[in-house]
Structure 1
């Protein structure tokens, strides 16, 4: 206790009340969860939603409680609203979905791995470690004494592959994809009761799972082979996910993509249960928090405060998805919020190299909210699909020019009406020139096929490190048709703490090393996302 008090008093005076408030909120949330556990029975779920009669009657009643989802799948049947893809693109979807049928997955640089007939949802298939099916609060999620990576089971249980199965189903009408969807979900329920096991250990991943399960419903809802009983259990589980997220928010005095993911998960679930008391509460809370987090997490120039181009994409994807859902449900966000989101996309436009790829500043774990095309899944360093979405939302011809085309990912988010609006925009607007982002500390030079990006910003997460690196004054250089000088990127988190620190060290970046020392102290042990706020680059004009 004395140590904790000393640690608190070491913080800047202005931060202490915020930290105390967060600690109190978290303690209250823990007490609330013990008194009112997120998991509720099917009987109580039916009563809260006013359901009665047969499973089909209840399912019909639940459908009346929904808000509007993304326009590509919300109205009519999915088979009536297919994106205009070529034969090769459709075949790529089918090939990818068939790999899922064979339980072949690839995460975090693993390469394709076949998981066998029965998936072990608690296993890191890269290291072989299996977490026991104990209450999540009793699990040791991160163990630096071995080479395990808890993100592997978390990534698998995000269920982002369901969108691949769903798209294959609507293009082929083949029931085998629906059967795989049902089999996986039922097996996951049996192996992962609420609050038990590794897959409840990170609220962010619970929220992303809920978002992807919501997408899956819209892809498979017209499938006649799926029984009403299954869908009723499905909505029951989603409702429990919402209660779990609300009770386990990843709060902090300084917040990042984890907390934002929690909030966006509540947006998806709030829309799904829009006409229920819980859904209205989730939506109201999420709307207020989105406004607050845009102001907190994104600098006025549009740069996310985590100082990572990869996480910039994730945060933009989270905000964009929420904005589209709010627009479809006539929920307004402030003009200041929208202007800052537009600035985020300006940053994306400017940091994109002439070949469409990004500079590799900061951490990268390929994090996404949802993956709605094989192209964006495979080309992880191409963020131009975000600009296609932004072109439509903000009526920006220059975003259209930078995007190049209306990507499949954009079609699923905006539908055919969005595609038509995109096509109506002129293919004009100037290519990005040299531009500075003083708040976030990034500077870019563009001239024809010459490009340079310089990091002159603060340590990530407002001085805490987070997903930033010891890369002050580091740069990338692109000439002709290739990157000549590249950032080192990031390839490991907890599986190898020494390698983790090596990739975020001064020595790994394109900077001068003075006396063989780090420019700022890197956290060790479990502090692998900590960097001392000791290296502050300064712009001299």
Structure 2
């Protein structure tokens, strides 16, 4: 039944694809046909494009020299990562190191623009007639990649299936996770190869890109196979191909015919994206946004072609629309996930940078909302600089310029330097670190302090004058000395983000995040977890009570539902029921019943206090409303929690508190627990009437990875009488004061006695 329900949802999600199946084949544009329209050959077009700097990643030789001399550790790490890619060694989404060698193909593939093909409903006819690309000098040593391998189960997905006939649950082998071959098929490692080529001028890295392009197109013809079944992945692959090709365009050992084949394939990606947009469901999400941003990069590659101009207008209009649809007024992505907020911020930032780099900036309204997105991201960061794992996480990125293969998926600070320079917000630079400066360089910002190259200035001069004439702000580049790198704390903050349903208090190493939002994506809940009135707490820079994360999606239904369930968050579970209805067969839906609501937030120099409620348990036979109040003493990190249940009848109450890996919890008796981590000790006080047990649980720091941790599980079978209260307190041993605790509990929570 689970498979049937998910299968029907996937079919409904692809409704537009299904309906278009019956449409007669149409003749879609090709690179050759577009060039014929403007009256030039590929060679003429390519030579003209070579004279301009079309994507921000194609940085100047002066910047490369600066990076070599000032970022030696990152240069070395980039080259090491690129060398692993040359050996086809990858580590993706919890796979561990693996080498995906195609068992069916042992020699270098032969590919030219003539080999572009697709299924009948997405014909690229007329096919371009161009000379075939010869095999490259290093090709005999190249072993084709297995683009269909799922490395964890070691199962291979079927090949040769047109994308519109694909059905995940009917066609996947066993429980293989489709996200792993998709992740490899995004080709985000091409940027690393391109960086290594620019940093070393070693042709091996450029030739690897050329060989992989031929390899991919032979194994994955346009529209055929699993790497065409999700347009988001097609779009991310396309933009990373565009960036990789821009980085190696000075390589003289690549024959001219390669470039014709490469850009024909890239153009075909654009045609596919434009004709298979993921905007045919009730809501748009990061998927459609990825389609738009990926296509926008291709519009910048083909700006002089009629189709490129159509794409550009569509993408700019869509970006302006989607940032108002998908981003809430407080700056949060509307999908109820902080990790997805990072991805969506990066996507919108990429769009803004493309427009700014071409001196045709997006609107002030767009940039203002983007500024709010980065403000929100900085606002929710933990004292260690990492993101709390509210909602789903799949480690999605636009492109990876820094530490490919070893980057920390919970770290979003790489975005802060390019965002600071684009949006002229110098405060963010203080938190970006060295990685942020490196990142900004590859976003095309002149970290060395040089101005734009003269040719680029002349090319863009007319558009800059036009923009200034319209009253639009044209940003200037910022020199290295404007980067203020510190190891200091993130800024103190005590703030409620009401639309996101998140409240954050951060002071030095003390941190509290409270989650009590509505089901996101306009009630769809694709990436929302049942975390109403859940929280994360750090004291003295030690992560103590944390959100366990997300783990996996379709490869393990039971684990997927466990990690998004009420019982796997730091909140109260009543009668074993979910806060928002969660049907096991709907892996990307929550059905809203909780309707989280803030009842007030205020902050003083001494403490910050939040009160909220949800009504998810109003649907019980004996209805209950759950209210929770937090008082956080930000200077000491002491936390008081009061739970009030309004309702009657007999109910099983279960409190769950999940601790960070490495945190040890021991019972001291009478509801007192000693928490030990990083040579520090803390006390957690709970009601004496609750039965407590320390159990093993799981924490997932990134997609596909889970590590053991401890959870404290407290239960009671209670007879509720109108209004019922339970109280908890957490503090460092050095800040424990019974009189202070009684004072705050009495004031904030209305409790006369802590231990009842």
Q: In the TM superposition, what is the alpha-carbon distance from 1:26 to its structure 2 partner?
A: 6.6
Structure with more contact order per residue of length (Cα contacts < 8 Å, sep ≥ 6): 1
1:283 matched to 2:312: yes
Q: In the TM superposition, what is the alpha-carbon distance from 1:123 to its structure 2 partner?
A: 2.2
Q: Which has the higher helix share?
A: 1
Quickly say closer, same or farther: Cα 1:38–1:482, change in 2 above 3 A.
farther
My pick for the range that moved more, 167-176 or 207-216, is: 167-176
Q: In the TM superposition, what is the alpha-carbon distance from 1:497 to its structure 2 partner?
A: 0.9
Q: Which has the higher strand share?
A: 2
1:348 matched to 2:377: yes
Q: In the TM superposition, what is the alpha-carbon distance from 1:394 to its structure 2 partner?
A: 2.3
1:443 matched to 2:428: no
* SS of match in other structure, 2:46: helix
Note the alpha carbon deviations across 1:216-237, whole angstroms, 9 max, x for none: 1111101111111111111111
Quickly say closer, same or farther: Cα 1:490–1:204, change in 2 above 3 A.
same
Q: Of 558, 582, 585, which residue of structure 2 is paired with 1:498?
A: 558
Name the structure 1 match of 2:446.
416
Contact 1:349/1:432 (<8 A) preserved: no
Name the structure 1 match of 2:197.
169
1:195 matched to 2:254: no
Q: Using the alignment, how far apart are the partners of 2:73 and 2:15 within structure 1?
A: 55
Q: In the TM superposition, what is the alpha-carbon distance from 1:30 to its structure 2 partner?
A: 5.8
Q: How does 1:122-521 map to 2 (within 5 A)?
A: 122-127=148-153, 128-143=155-170, 146-251=174-279, 252-374=281-403, 377-405=406-434, 406-417=436-447, 420-421=478-479, 423-424=481-482, 431-521=491-581
Note the alpha carbon deviations across 1:49-81, whole angstroms, 9 max, x for none: 5332xx6445314546x77321x5155698567
Quickly say closer, same or farther: Cα 1:362–1:227, change in 2 above 3 A.
same
Q: Using the alignment, how far apart are the partners of 2:340 and 2:410 within structure 1?
A: 11
Quickly say closer, same or farther: Cα 1:481–1:201, change in 2 above 3 A.
same
Q: Using the alignment, how far apart are the partners of 2:298 and 2:352 within structure 1?
A: 14
Q: Using the alignment, how far apart are the partners of 1:396 and 1:174 within structure 2?
A: 37
Name the structure 1 match of 2:90.
105
Name the structure 2 match of 1:121.
147
Unaligned stretches of 5+ residues in structure 2: 1-11, 102-142, 450-477, 601-756
Q: Using the alignment, how far apart are the partners of 2:511 and 2:15 within structure 1?
A: 48
Q: Using the alignment, how far apart are the partners of 2:492 and 2:260 within structure 1?
A: 50
1:44 matched to 2:33: yes
Quickly say closer, same or farther: Cα 1:49–1:201, change in 2 above 3 A.
farther
Q: Using the alignment, how far apart are the partners of 1:138 and 1:92 within structure 2?
A: 42
Q: Using the alignment, how far apart are the partners of 1:27 and 1:115 within structure 2?
A: 32
Contact 2:67/2:75 (<8 A) preserved: no
Q: In the TM superposition, what is the alpha-carbon distance from 1:310 to its structure 2 partner?
A: 0.8
Unaligned stretches of 5+ residues in structure 1: 1-19
Q: Using the alignment, how far apart are the partners of 2:490 and 2:557 within structure 1?
A: 44
User: TM-score, normalising length from structure 2?
Assistant: 0.64
Name the structure 2 match of 1:13.
none
* SS of match in other structure, 1:346: helix
Note the alpha carbon deviations across 1:181-223, whole angstroms, 9 max, x for none: 1111111111111111111100001100110011111111011
Q: Of 51, 55, 63, which residue of structure 2 is paired with 1:69?
A: 55
Contact 1:51/1:61 (<8 A) preserved: no
1:530 matched to 2:620: no
Quickly say closer, same or farther: Cα 1:539–1:96, change in 2 above 3 A.
same
Quickly say closer, same or farther: Cα 1:477–1:269, change in 2 above 3 A.
same
Q: In the TM superposition, what is the alpha-carbon distance from 1:524 to its structure 2 partner?
A: 2.9
Q: In the TM superposition, what is the alpha-carbon distance from 1:506 to its structure 2 partner?
A: 0.6
Name the structure 2 match of 1:17.
none
User: TM-score, normalising length from structure 1?
Assistant: 0.89
Q: Of 58, 68, 71, which residue of structure 2 is paired with 1:86?
A: 71
Contact 1:39/1:194 (<8 A) preserved: no
Q: Using the alignment, how far apart are the partners of 1:338 and 1:353 within structure 2?
A: 25
Quickly say closer, same or farther: Cα 1:110–1:49, change in 2 above 3 A.
farther
Name the structure 1 match of 2:25.
35
Q: In the TM superposition, what is the alpha-carbon distance from 1:519 to its structure 2 partner?
A: 1.1
My pick for the range that moved more, 23-32 or 314-323, is: 23-32
Name the structure 1 match of 2:452.
none
Q: Using the alignment, how far apart are the partners of 2:234 and 2:448 within structure 1?
A: 29
For the pair shown, which has the larger CA radius of gyration, 1 or 2? 2
* SS of match in other structure, 1:513: strand
**What is the root-mean-square deviation in Å for CA atoms of aligned residues?**
2.6
Quickly say closer, same or farther: Cα 1:303–1:147, change in 2 above 3 A.
same
